[in-house]
Each structure stands twice: as structure tokens, then as C-alpha cells.
């Protein structure tokens, strides 16, 4: 009886530890502090400072501190009285809490994958209903073939959903009035674009590289490079609001063009190939979960901009001078006409 109660408390106390650790390191409520800690864990010059900030980005590391707080509040110990019981309880609580976290993460990923699959099947069903109503002569074998093709578009459905998200942010930016609102939209859009570009470059593009036309894949990768350069400049530049907005406007135009190319050329060709888009979508969903929780690794474009910050500022000053000169010339022409 004396052994059963502490073991029971072990599994009960691990629940709040798992909840707090997951919420702080993964959920939207703490996204901004999490991103700040991720950035500081990479950029701080001191190794101690980097490790300190890293503790708040990893649910396993953070759970040690949450477990310590729980021990201080409850005086819970395991197997032995005194300090030995507290040490054993600390590691046992962390271990059980992380088992809970792993189970929850797998369930969450499975639910999200199933949701994407359901949305895809619903879209396929609506399309088949439309085809059936407008083309009564369509035979059942064609319907079966179309249904199968549509049910294998998980990866494409996921990417299209990301496209709709960023396009909505671009439209929202154009309608925004305040500087603070625009900055919030820019931050959200950059976050979405970084994750989207990473899963495409790491998983989707390599899977299709040998299946699709080389020109299509090459152009997509070059467009990614251009977008990443603009994102890096937005991240690293300290220029004023005017040039921040100008950069983001150019980024939005480039991304809209990229989306049009992907959905108009790349995706239709991908559907016609033998690539297992459903399995690919599951891999992409899992990687997206990891990027959202751990942050996006620094790319070469950010390293280039960070290594040459003076060039970014110089280009901005040159653009500003050119704009002012053009404005003066325009005013001069108007004056001479009068």
C-alpha cells in the first residue's frame, strides 16, 4: 500500500508537468516568446546564454524545471525519504511526463492528417457530384479513377492550404492602416513562408525532382531563393517603415507569382505521376509540426545578409536617393509645363 500510493501519484503529477511543458514550448499562446528564445539560442555570443534560452524551446529540457516546481509545491518523493527520494522523483516525473507528451503529439499529428484527408475527400466528392450532374454520361469507371486520383493529393492539398493562408495575409496587409498592424501581418506571413518553403525544399521538391520537367523545378528553386533573400532582409534590416513595407510588397508579388506557377504547372504534373502524394503529405505534416515547435533552421540567405548588413543598408539608401531624384525630376517637368 505504501508503494502503490507514490506510484499512483507519479502518474497523476506527471500530467500537469506534461501540459505546462507542451503549452509553453508548442502552443500559439506562447509563440512570440518561443520564437524569441529560439532566435536567442542561436545568436547569443555566450554559450551559457544560448543554453539558457534553449531550455525554453525544448519540451524535454523545460519539463525538468516544471517537475522541480511541482516537487517544491507537493513535497513528493519516491521510494526513499529525504533528498534521494526527491532526486528519483524528479527524473521519474520527467520520464512519465515526456511519455504523455509523445502520446499526445502522435495523436495530434494523426488527427491533423485525418482532417486533411477528410477535406480532400470532401473536395473530391463535390467535384464528382458536379461532374455527375453536368455530365450524366460519365461512367462509373471514370468516377472511380478520378476519386482515386483526388484521394492521393494530401501533399498538394496541404500546400494549397498554406497558399491560401499567405495570400489572405497579403490581402490583409494591403487593407491595414496602422504600422503596428502591418508589422504583425509581416511577422505572421514570414513565419508561414519560412515553414512552407522548408517543407517544400526538404521533402516535396526532392520527391518530384526526377518526375517533373527540369525547368519547372529549377524556376521554383530560384523563386524560393529570391523570396528567402527578401525575408532575410526583412528579418535583419533596421530600415524604416517605408522600406519595410516596400520589401514586403515586393515579397508578396513574388510569392503570388510563385503560387500561380506551382498551382498552374507543378501540381497538375505531380498528380499525373506515380508519386505517393498521400505518404508525402504525412511526411510534410510531421516536418511542419517539428518546425513549428523547434523553429526553422537558419538558411544561407540569412547568413549572407547577416554577413553583409552594410550592403542591405547601402541598397536601401541608393533606392531612397533614386526615388527622391525621380520625384524631383517629375516635379521639375511639371513646373516647366506650367
Look at residue 103 and tell me if it is in a domain.
yes
pTM of the model: 0.51
Residue 189 has a pLDDT of 92
Both 84 and 174 in one domain: the answer is: no
Confidence class of residue 69 from pLDDT cuts 50, 70 and 90? Answer: very high
Res. 61: pLDDT tops 80:
yes
Both 59 and 192 in one domain: the answer is: no
Both 98 and 39 in one domain: the answer is: yes
Both 102 and 245 in one domain: the answer is: no
The DSSP annotation for 202-248 comes to IIIHHHHTTTS-HHHHHHHHHHHHHHHHHHHHHHH----HHHHHHHH
Q: Which three cell numbers stand for residue 192?
A: 508561414
Residue whose C-alpha cell reads 516596400 in the numeric block: 246
Distances 289 to 117, 185, 261 between C-alpha atoms, Å: 17, 21, 26
Residue 17 has a pLDDT of 92
Look at residue 45 and tell me if it is in a domain.
yes
Residue 148 has a pLDDT of 41
113-122, 164-173, 314-323: the lowest-pLDDT one: 314-323
Residue 104 has a pLDDT of 86
Question: What secondary structure letter does DSSP report for 57?
Answer: T
Both 171 and 59 in one domain: the answer is: no
Both 58 and 204 in one domain: the answer is: no
Mean pLDDT across 192-218: 90
Look at residue 237 and tell me if it is in a domain.
yes
Confidence class of residue 50 from pLDDT cuts 50, 70 and 90? Answer: confident
User: Which residues contact residue 281 at a Cβ distance below 8 angstroms, ignoring those fewer than 6 apart?
Assistant: 113, 116, 154, 155, 156, 157, 158
Both 206 and 90 in one domain: the answer is: no
Residue 323 has a pLDDT of 43
| Cα 263 to Cα 170: distance, rounded to the nearest angstrom | 18
Mean pLDDT across 199-213: 89
Both 98 and 192 in one domain: the answer is: no
- Looking at 81, 112, 143, the residue that finishes a domain is 112
Q: How many CB atoms lie within 10 A of CB 91?
A: 12
Both 290 and 181 in one domain: the answer is: yes
Look at residue 144 and tell me if it is in a domain.
no
Distances 183 to 83, 195, 275 between C-alpha atoms, Å: 50, 19, 39
Q: Which helix (H) or strand (E) is 54 found in, with range?
A: helix 47-54
Question: What secondary structure letter does DSSP report for 297?
Answer: P
Res. 325: pLDDT tops 60:
no
Residue 292 has a pLDDT of 87
Q: Which three cell numbers stand for residue 164?
A: 491560401
Confidence class of residue 2 from pLDDT cuts 50, 70 and 90? Answer: low
Higher pLDDT: 109 or 119? It is 109
Model confidence pLDDT, tens digit, residues 215-256? 889 899 999 999 988 998 888 777 778 888 898 999 999 999
Both 272 and 191 in one domain: the answer is: yes
Helix then strand then coil, % of the chain, to nearest 5: 85, 0, 15
pLDDT, the chain, mean: 79
Q: How buried is 312 (Cβ within 10 angstroms: 0-12 exposed, 13-18 middle, 19+ buried)?
A: buried
76-80, 132-136, 211-215, 273-277: the lowest-pLDDT one: 132-136
| Cα 250 to Cα 230: distance, rounded to the nearest angstrom | 8
- Looking at 64, 90, 112, the residue that finishes a domain is 112
Q: Which three cell numbers stand for residue 14?
A: 506527471
Q: How many CB atoms lie within 10 A of CB 329?
A: 10
Res. 149: pLDDT tops 80:
no
Res. 92: pLDDT tops 90:
yes
Look at residue 19 and tell me if it is in a domain.
yes
Q: How many CB atoms lie within 10 A of CB 148?
A: 10
Residue 314 has a pLDDT of 53
Model confidence pLDDT, tens digit, residues 273-293? 877 888 888 889 988 888 888
Both 197 and 62 in one domain: the answer is: no
Look at residue 139 and tell me if it is in a domain.
no
Q: Which three cell numbers stand for residue 196?
A: 512552407
Q: Which three cell numbers stand for residue 160?
A: 494549397
Q: How many structural domains is the chain composed of?
A: 2
Higher pLDDT: 321 or 260? It is 260
Look at residue 147 and tell me if it is in a domain.
no
Look at residue 268 and tell me if it is in a domain.
yes
Res. 152: pLDDT tops 80:
no
Quick check: helix, strand or coil at residue 142? helix
Higher pLDDT: 232 or 319? It is 232
> Which residue range(s) make up the domain with 184?
152-307
Quick check: helix, strand or coil at residue 70? helix
In the chain, what is the straight-line distance between the N-terminal and C-terminal CA atoms, in Å?
Answer: 100
Question: How remote is the C-alpha of 34 from its chain's centroid?
Answer: 13
Both 49 and 164 in one domain: the answer is: no
Amino acid at each position: 500500500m505504501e508503494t502503490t500510493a507514490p506510484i499512483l501519484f507519479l502518474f497523476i503529477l506527471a500530467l500537469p508537468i506534461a501540459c505546462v511543458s507542451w503549452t509553453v514550448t508548442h502552443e500559439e499562446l506562447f509563440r512570440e516568446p518561443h520564437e524569441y528564445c529560439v532566435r536567442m539560442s542561436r545568436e547569443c555570443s555566450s554559450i551559457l546564454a544560448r543554453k539558457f534560452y534553449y531550455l525554453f524551446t525544448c519540451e524535454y529540457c523545460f519539463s525538468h524545471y516544471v517537475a522541480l516546481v511541482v516537487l517544491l509545491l507537493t513535497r513528493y518523493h519516491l521510494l526513499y525519504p529525504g533528498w534521494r527520494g526527491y532526486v528519483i522523483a524528479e527524473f521519474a516525473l520527467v520520464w512519465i511526463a515526456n511519455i504523455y507528451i509523445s502520446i499526445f503529439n502522435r495523436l495530434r499529428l494523426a488527427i491533423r492528417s485525418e482532417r486533411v484527408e477528410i477535406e480532400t475527400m470532401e473536395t473530391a466528392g463535390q467535384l464528382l457530384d458536379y461532374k455527375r450532374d453536368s455530365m450524366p454520361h460519365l461512367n462509373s469507371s471514370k468516377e472511380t479513377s478520378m476519386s482515386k486520383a483526388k484521394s492521393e493529393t494530401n501533399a498538394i492539398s496541404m500546400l494549397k492550404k498554406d497558399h491560401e493562408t499567405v495570400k489572405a495575409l497579403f490581402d490583409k496587409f494591403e487593407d491595414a492602416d496602422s504600422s503596428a498592424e502591418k508589422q504583425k501581418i509581416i511577422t505572421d506571413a514570414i513565419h508561414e513562408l519560412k515553414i512552407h518553403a522548408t517543407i517544400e525544399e526538404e521533402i516535396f521538391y526532392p520527391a518530384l525532382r526526377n518526375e517533373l520537367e527540369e525547368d519547372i523545378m529549377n524556376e521554383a528553386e530560384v523563386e524560393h531563393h529570391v523570396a528567402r533573400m527578401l525575408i532575410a532582409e526583412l528579418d535583419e534590416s533596421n530600415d524604416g517603415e517605408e522600406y519595410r513595407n516596400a520589401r514586403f510588397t515586393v515579397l508578396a508579388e513574388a510569392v503570388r507569382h510563385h503560387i500561380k506557377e506551382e498551382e498552374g504547372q507543378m501540381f497538375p504534373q505531380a498528380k499525373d505521376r506515380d508519386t505517393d502524394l498521400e505518404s508525402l503529405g504525412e511526411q510534410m505534416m510531421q516536418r511542419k509540426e517539428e518546425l513549428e515547435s523547434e523553429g526553422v533552421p537558419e538558411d544561407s540567405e540569412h547568413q549572407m545578409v547577416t554577413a553583409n548588413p552594410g550592403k542591405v543598408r547601402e541598397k536601401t539608401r541608393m533606392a531612397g536617393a533614386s526615388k527622391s531624384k525621380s520625384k524631383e525630376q517629375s516635379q521639375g517637368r511639371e513646373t516647366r509645363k506650367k
